[in-house]
Amino acid sequence: MAKVNQDIETDIIVVGAGLVGLAAAISFAQQGKSVVLVTAKNVAINNSKDWDTRIYALTPATENWLQALGVWQFVDKSRVNEIHAMHLWNDVSESPLLLADSDANLTKLGLIAENNNLMHALQANLEALARLVVIEAACMHIESTEQQVRLALENGSQLSAKLLVAADGAHSFVRQQMNISAKLKPFNQTAIVANYLAEKNHDNIARQWFASHETLALLPLPQQHVSMVWSVPTEQAARLLKLTAKELAERVQAQSKNVLGELKPVSEALSFELNQMTTTQLIANRVTIVGDAAHQIHPMAGQGLNLGFRDVIALQELLAKAHIMQDIGEKTFLRQYERARKADIVSMNSLVSGLDYLFASEQGVLKKLGVWGMRKLNNQTLIKKVLIKQAVA
């Protein structure tokens, strides 16, 4: 890996060095492509031993892909926790819907891992790749022609490539430069996140409580810790964020019906607004967009990062099948990526809407059916398998 300030011609430019951008750069470089990774921020990571408030639920398919990339060997496994079951409550029943890995003949439903742990693993893998150059500079201008895409950087560098991959987040500079519009659906909710030490064992169970316009999740971390994600109306979030750490923990404990006993804060509480964002297109002239630059979904499904990684996997597979003379930035070629990804993105948006209708909305099926509905659903093996398949895809 090198840091440069010059003119460079390369196969692929990746803009954005978050988890999805790093994974994209690694996967393309491992295919023998020359790659320049551009990031406006220093790629140094936080080496604190405290539990990171930014955590992700990874599906088994994502784990397998990271293993194939060689990334998983650098993950600190002592800070990763497997999920073997999910317990889902709504506000009309004291008993949860129980989904276990054994219901679908799986060894696990997924994994919980911290952002810093994954970032460290990706960067450790990236440093071993000779065909990958990293430039830390802000983007200034993009010019796309029939033959190439050119990216001007704030440090004076001029980059040219056959293909530019935008992984630069929800407020993507590349998306704006290429005039790609996005459909925004505000949820009028804010997610509050914090970590706690639980009095009782979490037993590797991911727990969620659904209410109208509100979702609380307690996700298992090692050493009896849990990660809390509480999505509430924005006005309510403002009130909750004014509480002391102990007071907030007591509110979470009460909201979760005391299932894990006393919750002791081990991190500060952070928050972020929730929106559903989907771009009207996933490609432009010699440009593709991936990850949060292309889509954002509600965290109740726990699939945002997996969805972004699947964008990269689709591009990786497309490039792997390309003929040696194929122009990888040619629009007809890139349309295959767009077609491959649109169905998955629509399906995930539908899953979120479906969960809301099933559990949380005022018109929700289980709210109408009450306790009887939850009991009946617990006995429906086929429906449970469908829910699990969606959760671990």
Q: What's the pLDDT at 23?
A: 98
**Given a cut of 60, is residue 382 above it in pLDDT?**
no
Q: Where are the domains of the chain?
A: 7-51+118-183+275-352
Residue 356 DSSP class: I
More confident of the two residues 239 and 128: 239
More confident of the two residues 220 and 213: 220
Both tokens of 340, joined, read: 């491959």
**Given a cut of 80, is residue 167 above it in pLDDT?**
yes
Residues 323-342 pLDDT 10s: 988 999 999 999 999 999 99
Both tokens of 366, joined, read: 């289980």
Both tokens of 225, joined, read: 């810790």
Q: Give me the mean pLDDT over the 168-173 stretch.
A: 94
The backbone region for 29, taken as left when phi is positive above 0, alpha when psi lies in -120 to 50, beta otherwise, is: alpha
Q: Average pLDDT, whole number, for the chain?
A: 88
pTM: predicted TM-score of the whole model, two decimal places: 0.90
For residue 322, CA distances in Å to 12, 29, 41, 164, 175 come to 14, 15, 33, 17, 25
**Given a cut of 80, is residue 389 above it in pLDDT?**
no
Q: What's the pLDDT at 205?
A: 97
Using a pLDDT cut of 90, give the percent of the chain over it.
Answer: 69
Residue 115 DSSP class: H
Q: What's the pLDDT at 252?
A: 98
Beta bridge partners of 217: 208, 229
Alpha carbon 127 to chain centroid distance?
23
CB 309 within 8 A of CB 18: no
Residues 54-111 pLDDT 10s: 999 999 999 999 999 999 999 999 999 999 999 988 776 677 888 888 877 889 999 9
Pairwise CA distance, residues 232 & 299, whole Å: 12
269, amino acid identity = A
**Given a cut of 60, is residue 384 above it in pLDDT?**
no
Pairwise CA distance, residues 260 & 374, whole Å: 22
Burial class (CB in 10 A: 0-12, 13-18, 19+), 215: buried
Q: What's the pLDDT at 185?
A: 86
Both tokens of 209, joined, read: 């409580």
Residues 118-137 pLDDT 10s: 999 999 999 888 889 999 99
Alpha carbons within 13 A on the beta-carbon side of 300 = 33
Q: Give me the mean pLDDT over the 172-182 stretch.
A: 96
Q: Binning pLDDT at 50, 70 and 90, where does residue 41 land?
A: confident
Best-predicted range by mean pLDDT (98-112, 167-181, 296-310, 371-385)? 167-181
For residue 32, CA distances in Å to 80, 180, 181, 281, 332 come to 31, 29, 33, 28, 22
Q: Give me the mean pLDDT over the 22-28 stretch.
A: 97
To which H or E segment does residue 36 belong? strand 35-39
Both tokens of 384, joined, read: 């449970």
Using a pLDDT cut of 70, give the percent of the chain over it.
Answer: 85
Q: Binning pLDDT at 50, 70 and 90, where does residue 371 land?
A: very low
**Given a cut of 50, is residue 188 above it in pLDDT?**
yes
DSSP strand pairing (85-90 vs 97-100): antiparallel
126, amino acid identity = L
Can you list the alpha helix ranges (DSSP code H) found in 16-172?
19-30, 60-69, 115-126
| DSSP output for 293-344 | GTEE--GGG--HHHHHHHHHHHHHHHHHHS-TT--TT-HHHHHHHHHHHHHH
More confident of the two residues 50 and 217: 217
CATH number attached to the domain at 7-51+118-183+275-352: 3.50.50.60
Q: What's the pLDDT at 359?
A: 57
Q: Give me the mean pLDDT over the 247-254 stretch.
A: 98
More confident of the two residues 260 and 361: 260
Please tell me the least confidently modeled range out of 241-255, 271-285, 300-314: 300-314
Helices 381-392 and 365-378: angle between axes, nearest 10 degrees: 110
**Given a cut of 60, is residue 370 above it in pLDDT?**
no
